Amino acid sequence: MKILVADAFPKDRLSDLAALGLEVEHRADVSAGDLPAAAADASILVVRSKEVSADVFDRAAALSLVIRAGAGVNTIDVAAASQKGVYVANCPGQNSIAVAELAIGLVIALDRRIPDNVAALRAGRWDKKRFSEAAGLYGRTLGVAGLGAIGREVATRALALGMRVLAWSRSLTAEGAKALGIERAPDLLSAARASDVLSLHLPLSRETRGVVSREVLLAMKPNAALVNTARAELVDQAALLELVRAGRLRVATDVFAGEPAKGQAEFQSELAQLPDVYGTHHIGASTAQAQDAIARETVRIVEAFVRSGEVPNCVNVARKTPARARLVVRHFDRVGVLANVLGIIREAGINVEEVRNTIFEQAQAASCAIDVGERPPDALLERIRSRRDEVMFVDCFDL
């Protein structure tokens, strides 16, 4: 079985993959355009930020699993993977501390203008007067949009700085916020209005694309700051550029529209050129600690898949299948028994959605849960029951 690792990945962990009996191909520099050809004969594909387009799933007939060695799966055509029955998994939480550390670093950098201090000194200029205008962070409000793995780490660190934390997130309740020592905003607009710094930690999805709209940006206090270590596409980039140019907002961003997927490339960004914008090079996850944790988690996923067929952290298995009823069939563990049961279900024109067969010690008996698209008529259950030399017990209940 071949695994293609199509981005940077630690050598030791490549050896771990090989030790699982896999044929490992490491092509960190393969371009997104060449990925469909490169992955054509791979069973497992590992990527970081490289785009995995529908073409990859069209061409790679053997592909069964794509692992995002990171958190955000927006660079993978998950819908195309689902149509071809390919698992997509990620490594949630493994780089959250690294991203939170960067986000907090950017919050402090914005307040004290640390990059400008450094640049002025490098240019031979002493400007204590200009750089003595920081407001300070203690007692000020940090808005957190998306209180998941990263948002929580950011909130913890902001509380340690004595900041007030106001979070907006899909499933956050007032009680949940209280338990964390923070406050809950009812919507993004309210969070934006009340924050001195708004830090984004949402995934990029159909619902969140452009969620930081012109209206949200305009709701922010004059001279407030936006910190984006999530994805550029969350934010209306044209409005952002306009408001920063007008001196209404300050920005620190680790992510850019159209940023290169490669480690080194020419890159021009109007936003990054502005004096009120501090840009970093999508390095949120790029600490040795985080990369080690991500790589180990990737190996864990591959190992589980190779050994048991299970896929930890799978993001595209249906949460609810169209199944409406479950048959439980206890049967003798013999050749053809399940095929006969499934044949009877097929003859009734009923679709089987999921099957889980469990074998008991000594491999004499098994219990099979068969989830089906509609409740089978009693006569069908009777037909299965009547196969007494194969079947011990049959029951059916609605889902």
Ligand X SMILES: NC(=O)c1ccc[n+]([C@@H]2O[C@H](COP(=O)([O-])OP(=O)(O)OC[C@H]3O[C@@H](n4cnc5c(N)ncnc54)[C@H](O)[C@@H]3O)[C@@H](O)[C@H]2O)c1
Q: Which are the catalytic amino acids?
A: 231, 259, 282
User: Residue 70 corresponds to which tokens in the numbers above?
Assistant: 């990171």
285 lies in the site for ligand X, by CB under 6 A:
yes
Strand segments, DSSP code E, in the chain are 2-5, 23-26, 44-47, 65-68, 87-89, 141-145, 164-168, 183-184, 197-200, 224-228, 249-253, 277-279, 325-332, 352-359, 365-372, 391-398
48 lies in the site for ligand X, by CB under 6 A:
no
298-336 residues labelled b (16+ CB within 10 A) or e (exposed): bbebbbebbeeeebbbebbeeeeeebebbbebebeeeee
Instruction: Decide whether 95 or 313 has the Cβ nearer to ligand 2HG.
Output: 95
Residue 35's binding partner out of ligand 2HG, ligand X, none, with CB under 5 to 8 Å set by partner kind:
none
CA 141, 96, 49, 266 torsion-angle sign? positive
Residue 228's binding partner out of ligand 2HG, ligand X, none, with CB under 5 to 8 Å set by partner kind:
none
Residue 362's binding partner out of ligand X, ligand 2HG, none, with CB under 5 to 8 Å set by partner kind:
none
Side-by-side strand order, sheet with 224-228: 183-184, 164-168, 141-145, 197-200, 224-228, 249-253, 277-279
Size of the site for ligand X (CB under 6 A): 31
183-184 and 164-168 strand pairing: parallel
Contacts to ligand 2HG from residues 62-101, by CB under 6 A: 70-72, 95
Residue 48's binding partner out of ligand 2HG, ligand X, none, with CB under 5 to 8 Å set by partner kind:
ligand 2HG
CA 113 – CA 119 distance, rounded (Å): 10
CB of 42 to ligand 2HG, least distance (A): 19
- Residues 240/226, Cβ–Cβ less than 8 Å: yes
CB of 278 to ligand X, least distance (A): 14
Contacts to ligand 2HG from residues 280-309, by CB under 6 A: 282, 285-286
CB of 290 to ligand X, least distance (A): 8
CB of 234 to ligand 2HG, least distance (A): 12
The one among 54, 80, 149, 272 contacting ligand X by CB under 6 A: 149
User: Residue 170 corresponds to which tokens in the numbers above?
Assistant: 């899909």
Instruction: Decide whether 92 or 143 has the Cβ nearer to ligand 2HG.
Output: 92
Q: Is 287 helix (H, G, I), strand (E, B) or coil?
A: coil
Stretch that binds ligand X, among 34-42, 146-154, 243-251, 347-355 (CB under 6 A): 146-154
Site string for ligand X, 222-261 (x = CB under 6 A): -------xxx----------------------xx------
